[in-house]
Structure 1
Amino acid sequence: MTQLEKGGPSLPQERKIVTAIPGPRSQEIEERRKKAVAPGVASGMPAYVVAAGGGILKDADGNQIVDLGSGIAVTTVGNSNERVVAHAKEQLDAFTHTCFMVNPYESYIEVAEALNRLTPGDHEKRTVLLNSGAEAVENAVKIARVHTKRNAVVVFDHAYHGRTNLTMAMTSKVAPYKKGFGPFAGEVYRAPMSYPYRDDAAAGTKVSGEDAAQRVISMIDKQVGADDVAAIVIEPIQGEGGFIVPADGFLPAIVEYARENGIVFVADEVQAGFARTGRMFASEHEDIVPDIVTTAKGIAGGLPLAAVTGRAEIMDAVGGGGLGGTYGGNPAAVAAALGALESYEQDGLVERAVEIGEILVRRIEALQAKHPEIGDVRGRGAMQAIELVQRDSIDPHPGLAKAIADHAAANAVLVLVTGTFGNVLRFLPPLSISDELLNEAFDVLEEGFANALA
């Protein structure tokens, strides 16, 4: 077994059930949590983790759970990846913080240089480092507004962009992300997303990406006015909305419209970026070159870091002191990012994402052949999903999604439920997972479908 497969902790790469999940120790900790932690912070699987590596999460009771979530696409390089840990440890021994805005350090610049090189396009770029995906998206909007001297922002149905006031306004789904938290920031306009599964069913024929884009363009022209739009912000593959992959041609048409009208095109690659889809960035699948790319999650192997990377002339529009934050580009997180970026480029992780995607699609399509409740199979690389519907319809079936996820959890497999309708199972395994573990996890999912639909 390679170091990449092992991850940091030397965990046996095997699923193991020692107790019911959650076990007694996890239940004890959960009781303490109820008295200490605000209930608004919910956990899907309250099995408290004590170690993780490769494709395994080990809980406080000794259960070993197959990880198909990667901390929501964060530990893409594998939990406690050797390169990440080595870089972070070296930095922690040197210093933990100065604030880049006070006393700068070279590693921040090294990460910026890497992102300028790796993100799509060979134009001159600049990068600012921040703490979270939401913070990155919010700063991208700020930058676009300064550059264009316009206010309006166009986002899409089913979008998720974060939990700050502005990014909640940009997020589509109300519960649990927005309910009761308003009023929200203004000048945010929502356009129809290209959602091939549901678009085609509603139209009774295939809706092309160009036709879906024309709906968006018509909406902007009629309801907002292109001259007032600072930015169009879109996830090239929507994350929390249900891993929606727009129809071919949709993204290029939107990019062309943005270019023609002086609108900053922002690709939110927070969930889809960094090798996850079988390319370094999801935008590359249709050869689009965003004006700004926002990243986070997989950037630093589990440490909090995010970035905005964009065209130099756009990024340079903001004057000194207009961007930043006390912890943005924290030295330990930046060091971890250098380790993660090394792993993406030197450990064959882009290629590994393609291999994992082939296994996922093969297993999911075999399930679909048995169960028509699997209405749609979609995704790219190691970012795949199944949309569950009522038999003989496209009506969402969130109850089935929950039943499958619950069965998986009870049998030491972590799978995440997502989607606007709560009816999508998403698969985001770490790229360090073995083929054997991946297939074993799907054996458990097969049992779950058979039991739920018996």
Structure 2
Amino acid sequence: KHGSFGNLIWKRGIVFIVDEKMATTYCTYQQVQTGGGPANGEIWAHAHWNLPEPADIVTFSKKMLTGGFFFADHLKVHEGFRIYNTWMGDPTKLLLLEQALKVYKKDGLLERAKVNGQEFQKKLAAFQKEHPSLVRNARGLGFFAAVDFENTEIRDKFVHQALQFGLHCGGCGERSLRIRPSLVFDKKHLDLTFELLEKTAKALETSSSS
């Protein structure tokens, strides 16, 4: 985690696996949270990084409906049953994923996520600007976003109040609020989300000043 290179690794979910016997380092991208389209309309968040060459291994789960990984040709296992689990995978989840990907294309979900995700980030920045004493460090890419609060107590109060107003959200880490809506999140949901965030912020600011 040290230095600019370490920060890059930590922030972007990159893991380097060192094989001392082979004198080789493998680059792995962890796309469990960011895979599937929330990061500004790309199936894989690392598509935004303008990398000179692909990763050796990419892991995925969450929006991909099943946990797994894929890897470069040079890591292909030649011996049978070197990589397997009790159930040898889950074919039913793959059938569900196949149908989900068809909906991605039919309904244009990635393009919708790109357009609405950019607007989401603009509104998030404006929300922080409107409430600088409450919200800080707004960040993210598309629908994959978060903000910080001064401490855990204030964050938890915000989450509790937001839930009372009907906004489903949750804390992350010590003082962050993580936002990661589904891909069907549209303009009407965007407007309603920030209407409720604004309502929550004003309620907390009013209670703290009284």
TM-score class, shorter-chain normalisation, is 0.7 to 0.9
Is 2:108 aligned against 1:313? no
- Distance between the aligned counterparts of 1:308 and 1:399, measured in 2? 38
SS in 2 for 1:268: strand
Check whether the contact 1:349–1:431 (CA below 8 A) recurs between aligned residues.
Answer: yes
Q: Which runs of 4+ in 1 moved over 6 A?
A: none
Question: Displacement of 1:345 after TM fit?
Answer: 3.6
Is 2:106 aligned against 1:343? no
Q: What is aligned with 1:128?
A: none
1:411 to 146, 165, 187: 165
Q: What is aligned with 1:284?
A: 47
Structure 2 residue runs of 5 or longer lacking an equivalent are none
Q: What is aligned with 1:331?
A: 91
Check whether the contact 1:275–1:344 (CA below 8 A) recurs between aligned residues.
Answer: no
| Residues 1:442 and 1:337: Cα distance change in structure 2 (over 3 Å) | same
Question: Displacement of 1:328 after TM fit?
Answer: 4.4
Is 2:197 aligned against 1:445? yes
Check whether the contact 1:235–1:267 (CA below 8 A) recurs between aligned residues.
Answer: no
Query: Residue by residue, what CA displacement relative to the aligned partner does 1:210-232 show, whole Å, maximum 9, x if unpaired?
Result: x511x579xxxxxxxxxxxxxxx
**1:9-158 alignment runs, 5 A limit:** none
Query: Residue by residue, what CA displacement relative to the aligned partner does 1:22-69 show, whole Å, maximum 9, x if unpaired?
Result: xxxxxxxxxxxxxxxxxxxxxxxxxxxxxxxxxxxxxxxxxxxxxxxx
Check whether the contact 1:418–1:424 (CA below 8 A) recurs between aligned residues.
Answer: yes
Question: Displacement of 1:235 after TM fit?
Answer: 6.6
SS in 2 for 1:446: helix
Letter in 1 for 2:153: G
TM-score, normalised to structure 2, is 0.83
TM-score, normalised to structure 1, is 0.40
Letter in 1 for 2:154: L
1:274 to 36, 49, 56: 36
Check whether the contact 1:363–1:442 (CA below 8 A) recurs between aligned residues.
Answer: yes
SS in 1 for 2:24: coil
Q: What is aligned with 1:387?
A: 148
- Distance between the aligned counterparts of 1:401 and 1:369, measured in 2? 17
| Residues 1:234 and 1:299: Cα distance change in structure 2 (over 3 Å) | farther
Q: What is aligned with 1:212?
A: 4
Question: Displacement of 1:359 after TM fit?
Answer: 2.8
Is 2:120 aligned against 1:368? no
Check whether the contact 2:114–2:142 (CA below 8 A) recurs between aligned residues.
Answer: yes
Is 2:118 aligned against 1:358? yes
Q: What is aligned with 1:48?
A: none
| Residues 1:284 and 1:417: Cα distance change in structure 2 (over 3 Å) | same
Question: Displacement of 1:296 after TM fit?
Answer: 0.8
Check whether the contact 1:293–1:308 (CA below 8 A) recurs between aligned residues.
Answer: yes
Is 2:59 aligned against 1:294? yes
Question: Displacement of 1:388 after TM fit?
Answer: 1.8
| Residues 1:350 and 1:337: Cα distance change in structure 2 (over 3 Å) | same
Structure with more relative contact order (C-alpha pairs < 8 Å, separation 6 or more): 1
Structure 1 residue runs of 5 or longer lacking an equivalent are 1-190, 193-210, 218-232, 239-250, 390-396
Check whether the contact 1:274–1:344 (CA below 8 A) recurs between aligned residues.
Answer: no
Question: Displacement of 1:329 after TM fit?
Answer: 2.8
Question: Displacement of 1:337 after TM fit?
Answer: 0.9
Check whether the contact 1:235–1:269 (CA below 8 A) recurs between aligned residues.
Answer: no
- Distance between the aligned counterparts of 1:399 and 1:358, measured in 2? 30
Check whether the contact 2:112–2:186 (CA below 8 A) recurs between aligned residues.
Answer: no
Corresponding residue pairs, total:
198
Check whether the contact 2:137–2:147 (CA below 8 A) recurs between aligned residues.
Answer: yes
- Percent identical among aligned pairs is 21
Larger Cα Rg: Structure 1 or Structure 2? 1
| Residues 1:439 and 1:310: Cα distance change in structure 2 (over 3 Å) | same
SS in 1 for 2:39: coil
Check whether the contact 1:405–1:416 (CA below 8 A) recurs between aligned residues.
Answer: yes
Letter in 2 for 1:377: A
- Distance between the aligned counterparts of 1:292 and 1:336, measured in 2? 23
RMSD of aligned residue pairs (Cα, Å): 2.7
Q: What is aligned with 2:27?
A: 265
Check whether the contact 2:38–2:144 (CA below 8 A) recurs between aligned residues.
Answer: yes
